[in-house]
């Protein structure tokens, strides 16, 4: 039965609101785990992935060994789904090491805390961040958005490499933004496909002065992690589950309010239209000398001067009443 969780504290309420479905989803979090047997190479790879994704709390790393997680076996993904619901992670990376599959790394995606798809990679060669990028000025900043360059026709033709391309873009894209400062593009992932191998290089971008140009010269310096990979197994989602996961709700457009706009400094700013005010028709207490009839008589007398006299004629004044004897 579905159980409705009701928060008992304000902190729990904030956590549930953060995990609730939204029109603009939160950045995807990565869950890093290891199996019963792991090599030092796999441990270093997991540590480097955590270093790249930990900014903003977008990565959760488990140090305990898990012997009951077998992603490609029936029922073996149940512990992954349980941990995903506990940590609210939609991406996972699971490292193991065995004689049959040495230096094995499984990366996958979740939908509604269920395994959507995953791909199994074998790591043949590896260079860590400490070995290449430790203390370098060109080392990328944590939380910056990387560029991606996919070299090779196989990323468009081979199904397993098309799947790997989608997975890598989803792993490292971070938060979706509308605009980006060019100065923040300080690293790039270069993925090259040659034969059955995939060469993944994480490089820092250095801008140097060019001799005969006003634009800087771009150089790429390996900062790690850099891996040579082989695709072993991959599992795509079913058509129904993929269609459900890719469904996007229609965003309700806000009703436009006339004559109102927003400002970053003043906040909400509005414009008011005032009708023309008829001051003369207003019922106000007027003085005796300001009455309209007196003003009009004075103006008429000033415009028609009397004959034989240059001075303007005076306004007609009523005769004085006769006094009684």
pTM over 0.85: no
Percent of the chain's residues with pLDDT above 70: 85
In the prediction, which pLDDT does 1 show? Answer: 43
Identify the CATH number of the domain in which residue 64 sits.
Answer: 3.40.50.10480
Write the pLDDT tens digit of every residue in 43-69. 999 999 998 888 777 889 998 888 888
- In this structure, is residue 138 part of a structural domain? yes
Helix (H) or strand (E) holding 46: helix 40-53
Neighbouring CB atoms inside 10 A of 310's CB total 6
Structural domain tally of the chain? 1
Of the pLDDT bands very low, low, confident and very high (cuts 50, 70, 90), residue 112 is confident
Structural domain for 129, as ranges:
26-239
Contacts with 168 (C-beta within 8 Å, 6 or more apart), sequence order = 148, 189, 191, 200
Quickly state the pLDDT bin for 143 (edges 50, 70, 90): low
- Residue 44 belongs to some domain of the structure: yes
Quick check: is 286 in a domain? no
Tokens of 62: 């488990």
At residue 230, the 3 state secondary structure works out as: strand
Q: What is the pLDDT of residues 61-109, one digit of tens each?
A: 998 888 888 888 888 888 888 998 888 888 999 999 999 999 999 999 9
**pLDDT of the residue at 251:** 65
The verdict on residue 247 lying in a domain is no
Token pair 């028709």 in the structure block, residue: 281
Confirm whether 16 is domain-assigned: no
pLDDT of 187 over the 90 cut: no
CA neighbor of 140 nearest in space, from 75, 212, 222, 76: 222
Q: What is the pLDDT of residues 202-236, one digit of tens each?
A: 988 888 888 888 888 888 888 888 999 999 999 98
In a domain, 7, yes or no: no
């Amino acid at each position: 039965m579905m159980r409705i969780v009701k928060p008992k504290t304000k902190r729990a309420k904030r956590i549930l609101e953060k995990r609730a479905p939204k029109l603009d989803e939160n950045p995807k979090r990565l869950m890093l785990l290891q199996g019963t047997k792991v090599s030092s190479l796999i441990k270093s790879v997991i540590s480097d992935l955590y270093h790249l994704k930990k900014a903003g709390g977008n990565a959760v790393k488990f140090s305990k060994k898990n012997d009951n997680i077998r992603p490609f076996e029936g029922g073996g993904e149940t512990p992954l789904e349980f941990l995903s619901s506990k940590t609210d992670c939609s991406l996972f990376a699971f490292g193991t090491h065995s004689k049959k599959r040495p230096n094995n790394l499984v990366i996958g995606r979740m939908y509604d805390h269920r395994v959507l798809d995953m791909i199994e990679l074998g790591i043949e060669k590896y260079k860590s961040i400490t070995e290449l990028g430790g203390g370098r000025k060109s080392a990328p900043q944590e939380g910056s958005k990387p560029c991606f360059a996919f070299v090779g026709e196989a990323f468009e033709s081979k199904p397993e490499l098309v799947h790997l391309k989608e997975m890598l873009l989803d792993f490292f894209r971070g938060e979706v933004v509308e605009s980006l400062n060019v100065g923040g593009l300080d690293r790039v992932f270069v993925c090259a496909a040659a034969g059955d191998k995939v060469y993944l290089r994480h490089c820092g971008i250095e801008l140097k002065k060019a001799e005969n140009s006003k634009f800087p010269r771009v150089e790429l310096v390996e900062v790690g992690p850099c891996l040579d990979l082989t695709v072993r197994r991959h599992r795509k989602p079913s058509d129904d589950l993929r269609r459900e996961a890719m469904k996007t709700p229609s965003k309700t457009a806000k009703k436009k309010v006339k004559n109102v706009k927003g400002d970053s400094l003043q906040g909400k700013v509005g414009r008011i239209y005032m009708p023309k005010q008829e001051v003369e028709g207003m019922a106000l207490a007027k003085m005796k000398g300001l009455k309209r009839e007196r003003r009009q008589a004075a103006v008429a007398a000033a415009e028609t001067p009397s004959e034989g006299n240059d001075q303007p004629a005076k306004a007609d004044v009523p005769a004085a009443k006769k006094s009684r004897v």
